[in-house]
Amino acid sequence: MGALTPPDGQTVEGLTAWLSGHLRARGSITEPRWERALREVPRHRFAPSAAWFSANHADAPRGRFDVHDTPAAWWAAIYSDTSIVIQTDDGSGDPASGKGVFSSSVSAPGIVFPFLELLNPREGDRVLEIGTGSGWTAALLSWAVGQDGVTSIEVDQQVAAQAEANLRAAGFSPHLVVGDGVKGCPERAPFDGVHVTAGVSQIPLAWIEQTRPGGTIVMPWHGNGRIGYRLRLTVLDEATAIGRFHGRADYMMLREQRYNQRWSSHCHKMAEQSTTAVNPRTIGEAAVGARLLCAALAPHVAWHDIIEDSEYSVLLYELDDHTAEGSWAACDHAPGAAECRVTQYGRRRLWDEVSAAYLEWLTLGSPGYERFGLSIDPAGTRLWLDHPDGPSWELPA
C-alpha cells in the first residue's frame, strides 16, 4: 500500500472531488450516496505502492506509477478512471510491469459504480461478492449495507491475504472466504444480492439457489469472448432468474471460465476458399447488439479487424477449443472490389455462422443490447428479444 498522504499541492479530498465530478459528468454515478461512498472508502488504501494503471478512457493515465518516485502522478492515477493491476499470470508475474496476463485488479471506478447502482444494496442487506481482488468493492458494499452483511470470495490465496490486510487497515471487516466463487457460499445464504466482479460466460445455478426470490445478481456477462455486458438478473425461485443488459463491461474472466483463442496459420493451405458479397467491414464494425445475438447463433467466436493498405479484413477465431486446430475464418475486402475473399478452416464455418447471425440481426431491425434479455431455468439459458415470450435463442451449455 502507498503512502497515506499525497504530496504538497494535492489532497485526498481534492482528488476525490475531481473523480466524483468526472464520474457524475460521464453518468457513471447518478446517486449522491455513491459520491459519499467514494469519499468515505479511500481507494488509495487498496492499491500497491508501485502499480500498472490500465486506463478506462483515452484521457485517463496509463502506465507504471510508483508512489516513491512519482508521488503526484501515482495519486492522480489512483483518483482517476483507471483499473490498477494487482496480479499478473496468477501470481508468477510482476504486476507493476504491465506485462503478462492480468489476473487481478482494482476495477476502474467508471465500471464499479454503475454495477453498484444496478445492484442497489440497502442497509441491512446480505450481499455476496465473487472476486474480492483488492477488497475495494467489498469495502464499498460494507459501507452500503453494514459490516456484517458482506461475504466476499476470492480464489487466489495471495490476493485474498492482501485484500484482508487492506480491508482491516481501512476499517472494514466483511466475511472473507478463500475459495471458488462459482460455488457461492451456502452457509451464509440467503443473499439479497450477488455482485460478481469477474467475467462470466456460464452462470452457475448456485448463485440463483443462494439468492432470495426477488433478489438481484449483477455480473459482467461475457457470453461470447472478450466483449462483456452489464447484466442484472432478478431471481424468481431457487432455479429461475430473468434479466436484461444495461451496457458494456469488459472484465477478466472467472478462472475456470477463461477461454483460449488460436490462429492456426500453418493450416492456411488446407483452408476452404470462397467469395461473398457481404462487406466484412459491416460485420467487423457491427453494433454490440449484433455481437450479443452471435453469442447464441455463432457461439464462442472472437473477432478482430485489421486495416492494411486500405484493405479491410475481419478475422474470426473459435474460443474454448482445446483440440489441436481451432476453427478460424477470414474475410478480406479490397476497396472497389465487388466480391470479398473468404477463407475458412476447421470443423466449423465461422464466417458462414457469423454472417448468417448478422443478417438475422438486420432482419430483426438491428436491435441494441438494451432490447435483449436472458432467462435461466433448469432447462437452460435463453437469450430473448424485448420480452421473455418474444423471439428467443437457446445458449450453448
Ligand X SMILES: C[S@@+](CC[C@H](N)C(=O)[O-])C[C@H]1O[C@@H](n2cnc3c(N)ncnc32)[C@H](O)[C@@H]1O
Query: Would you please indicate which residues are annotated as catalytic (active-site) residues?
Result: 107
Strands 191-196 and 211-224 come out as parallel
* Sites of contact with ligand X (CB under 6 A): 103-107, 130-131, 133-134, 136-137, 153-156, 159, 180-182, 197-198, 251-252, 254-256
Kindly provide the b/e burial profile for residues 19-50, where b requires at least 16 CB atoms within 10 angstroms of the residue's own CB. bbebbbeeebbeeeebbebbeebbbbbbbbbb
The smaller minimum CB distance to ligand X, of residues 19 and 350, is found at 19
On whether the CB atoms of residues 100 and 88 are closer than 8 A, the answer is: yes
Alpha-carbon dihedral sign for residues 22, 26, 28, 33 = positive
Strands of 272-276's sheet, edge to edge? Answer: 272-276, 340-345, 328-333, 311-318, 301-308
The smaller minimum CB distance to ligand X, of residues 48 and 346, is found at 48
Angle at 369 between CA 366 and CA 370, to 5 degrees: 110
Strands of 191-196's sheet, edge to edge? Answer: 175-178, 150-154, 127-130, 191-196, 211-224, 227-237, 240-248, 372-377, 380-385, 392-394
| 271 dihedral zone (left: phi>0; alpha: psi -120 to 50; beta) | beta
Cell of 60: 485517463
